[in-house]
Each structure stands twice: as C-alpha cells, then as structure tokens.
Amino acid sequence: MNLILLLLAARCWQGRPVERATRVLASIAVFSLEMQVGTWSGLATLDRLVLFNGVLAVASLFLWARSPTGTREPIVVPPWPATLALAALVVTVSAVRPVTAADPYHLLRVEQIQRIGTLAYDPAVADVKVNALAGTYELILADLRLPGTGLSLLRLHGLFGLALYLVNLSAIVEWLPPPKRWMLVVLLVIPVVYDQMVLVKNDLFGAVPALIALAWLVTRLPGARSSEVAWAAALVGFAVGVKVSSAPIAVVFAIAVLHDRRTDWTALAMMVAGGIAGAVAGGLLFTIVENVRVYGGIVAPYAELGNQTTTPGQTMVSIGRFAMSLVDLGIVTPRVWPGRGGWGRTFGLPFVWALVVMAVNWQIPNVRRAAIICSGCFVLFAALYPDADVAQRMMIAPGVLIVVTAVWSLATPGPWGPRLRTALSIVIALSAAQIARSAYLYTIH
C-alpha cells in the first residue's frame, strides 16, 4: 500500500516513458529510504507509514489537479495480445501453486519485515542470508497487503515484476530506432526472465534499473549532460544496493564513463555522487551498518557463504564455463560439469539469435558498443562467481540488453534482415512453447 501511494504521489503515469520509469524507481527508492530512517529512528513502521504516504499522495494529486496537464506519451511495449497472454499465464500459475521462493530466505525476510514492521535485522535468525542478502525487494513484497486486514497480495508479485519490466523496457525505446512491434515479443519469452515472475526472486527487480543505465551507456553517454550522468549512476548504485552481485555492472559503468568523459571532472564528480546516492537508496549503507552492528564486520556474514573464485585457475574455468552456458541452452554445461550448485535457467534461444544478429550487424556502432559493455559485465561476473553458468539470472540486465540491441539493429534495412526476422519468428515460437511447457511443469509440481 505504501508503494502504491508513493506512485500516486509521483504521478508515475505522466511524462515520457523514461520519465515514467524514473518516477517508478524513485518511488521505490523513497519508500526504501523511509523504512531505513524509520528503522534506525524507531519512529516509523510499515503500517504507520501508510498515513504519511497517504497525505503525500493526496497533496500531490491536489496540486496536480490545479496545474496544467502534463504530457502522457503512449508506452511502447510488445503487442498487447502477447503481453496479456504472458500476464494471464503468470496469474494462472500463481493461482494454482503455493507462493514459492527460489531461495527460501526471501520469504523468510518478507515474514520478518511484516512481523517486526521495519528492516531491522533479527540476530536470532540462523540463516544470515535472511538479514544480509535481503532488503528492498522483500520490503516491496511485504508491502503488498492491505494494512489492518492481514490480506496479502504476495501472489501478485509476478504481475508487479512484469509491469516493472515493461515500464523500464519502454524507457529504452526513446534512445533506439523503432523496430516492428511484433519483434518485441521476443523480450517476453526469455526463459530466465519468465522464471522471475513465477518464483519469488530479486534478480529481475535489481536488473531493471541496471538495464536502463546500460542502455544509456550504449546510446547517450558521449553527449549527455552531467546531471544525466548522475541519474544513470544512481540507477546503477540502486541496483548494487538491492543486490551486491550487480557490482560488476557498476565497475563497467564507471570504466565507460571514465573512458568517454575522462576530462569532464564535473561529470565524473556527478557520477560518484549519483552512484553513492543510488546505493544508499537501495540499502547498501543500511546493510553495511547492520552487518557491523550485528555480525561485527562489513563482510562478516558473507564469509561463511563462500562461493567465490580464489585462484587464477578457478577464474579461467568459471569464465569458460559461463561463456559455454550462454550458448549451450543448458544442455552441454551440466553434462561436462555435473553436480553444479545453484538455481536458474539460461537466456535461451533469444540470446543465441541475438548473438548471430549482432555478428551480422557488427558495423553498427551501437551494436559494437553494446557487445563490449555487456561482455565486460559478463567477464567480471564470471571471474568472481564460480556458479555463473547456473546463475545467468544474476546478469539479466546485460543479457536482455544484448537481445534488445539485436532487435533494434534490424530496424535498419540490410541484406540479412528478412532472414534474421524469419529466424526470430521461429525463435519466438519455440521459446513460447518452452515457457508454456515450463508453466505446465510448475503447476503439476
């Protein structure tokens, strides 16, 4: 309820698509900051904030009603029949099966926030992930209920994820040449994205701001204003605050800005300031302070988790294994390395198709730039995380950007265009069938 009120206060339906996406993400950031301050000060809980945010919403709507009507540009999303079909599938699967988290600590944290009313750590929790690896996303899920009634709307988390995904995709449309609308359907049938709408997991939630920031790097960085650099850096910082495993994206973002704007000290200072502000809003500072207070050190709760490469040999194997997993559709890698830990699926046929398209259209500057930026994210991630091949979900932002770039590159006429579009229609059909099969398996297990 708090987030809905903040979305009303921000008038998230107003403006260009990128402004709408910014208003949505800003509302989430404000809610996160409210709860952080409320937790440390002891002045606010999840239910108490409803009154405060209600006043903000009413005041904003009153002022908006008395001011000139702003622009309301249409949102460019995949064709509505395909979008509604996916939404109906997500609702159906959610209705017939229990609410399940890919990792149990997500739902445990949701219950903890609802029980305590704040983001405070619970030192009695045996699994440190409940405290240290969960925060903003779980706060949003805990808020999906009607205050005073106990009625939870947690089953609708998949629709929330889909809406957030579509709003952020529409923002990128402003920066790229428009493709044929039917081609955008491929963005709805990426297997690893679909799984995020069925199982409770924070990967897609943390990926959407990073996706906008990476697309901005590809299309707008060289001539962008310093304030725009700060805005994009805040998106990356927020993504890292939500999920620390997004740190490779922050490194690549900083390197790209340093490369293109190395003599622009104002832009570099704004990047640092924006990144810090976004990370604080995403909960990184809160996590650091609480880790020190409860566990005695910033990285203390992570030490027992392990799961990091420790030698150059492990790093090279992890990078090679991840590269293979990007194109093997989850068939080869598990057989070569059986018994791998972790959870998740691959980017599937849409990603393989996108790689072919980008190879054919390599002469397009944005294609080359996207390939370099996304490859940097992938390499850094795989170098640090030995389970990268079974956790492509943790790099959704660069993975989806590869597919987005491939789709938009076909907006420019070329000799291979008709064949690549025909191949895309086949990829969409096969991936849709795979998702339908996955939905069936989810409902019977």
Q: Is residue 256 scored above 90 in pLDDT?
A: yes
Where are any strands of DSSP class E within 203-340? none
What average pLDDT does the segment 258-263 reach?
Answer: 92
pLDDT band at residue 415, thresholds of 50, 70 and 90? confident
Q: How far apart are CA 105 and CA 185, in angstroms?
A: 33
Q: Is residue 102 scored above 90 in pLDDT?
A: no
What average pLDDT does the segment 123-139 reach?
Answer: 91
Between these two residues, 397 and 417, which has the higher pLDDT value? 397
Measured CA to CA in angstroms, residue 282 lies from 59, 77, 138, 288 at distances of: 26, 27, 12, 12
pLDDT band at residue 243, thresholds of 50, 70 and 90? very high
- Res 349: pLDDT: 97
Q: Is residue 58 scored above 70 in pLDDT?
A: yes
Say which DSSP state 127 is in. Answer: -
Phi and psi dihedrals of 190, rounded to 5?
-80, 115
Q: Is residue 69 scored above 60 in pLDDT?
A: no
- Closest to 325 in 3D by CA, of 367, 378, 255: 378
Measured CA to CA in angstroms, residue 137 lies from 25, 66, 117, 178, 385 at distances of: 12, 34, 15, 32, 22
Instruction: Please state, rounded to an integer, the average pLDDT across all residues of the chain.
Output: 91
pLDDT band at residue 186, thresholds of 50, 70 and 90? very high
- Res 78: pLDDT: 87
The domain locations on the chain are 207-305, 306-412
Q: At what angle do helices 157-172 and 80-96 cross, to 10 degrees?
A: 160
What residues pair up with 152 in beta bridges, in sequence order? 145
Q: Is residue 298 scored above 80 in pLDDT?
A: yes
Please state, for a pLDDT cut of 70, what percent of the chain lies above it: 95
Q: How far apart are CA 262 and CA 311, in angstroms?
A: 33
- Res 179: pLDDT: 81
- Res 64: pLDDT: 74
- Whose tokens are 């921000």? That residue is 10
Q: Is residue 363 scored above 90 in pLDDT?
A: yes
- Res 75: pLDDT: 66
What average pLDDT does the segment 208-220 reach?
Answer: 95
- Closest to 435 in 3D by CA, of 88, 152, 111, 142: 88
Q: Residue 369 in contact with residue 416, Cβ under 8 Å?
A: no
Q: How far apart are CA 183 and CA 428, in angstroms?
A: 9
- Res 150: pLDDT: 61
Least confident of 162-171, 173-182, 216-225, 307-316: 173-182
- Res 228: pLDDT: 95
With vertex at residue 422, the alpha carbon angle to CA 418 and CA 425, rounded to the nearest 5 degrees, is 140
Q: How far apart are CA 403 and CA 214, in angstroms?
A: 13
Quick: pLDDT tens for 366-377: 999 999 999 999
- Res 414: pLDDT: 78
Measured CA to CA in angstroms, residue 319 lies from 125, 130, 253, 376 at distances of: 34, 29, 20, 11
Q: Is residue 348 scored above 80 in pLDDT?
A: yes
What average pLDDT does the segment 140-167 reach?
Answer: 84
Q: How far apart are CA 13 and CA 17, in angstroms?
A: 9
pLDDT band at residue 147, thresholds of 50, 70 and 90? low
pLDDT band at residue 67, thresholds of 50, 70 and 90? low
Q: Is residue 444 scored above 90 in pLDDT?
A: no
- Res 153: pLDDT: 81
pLDDT band at residue 60, thresholds of 50, 70 and 90? confident
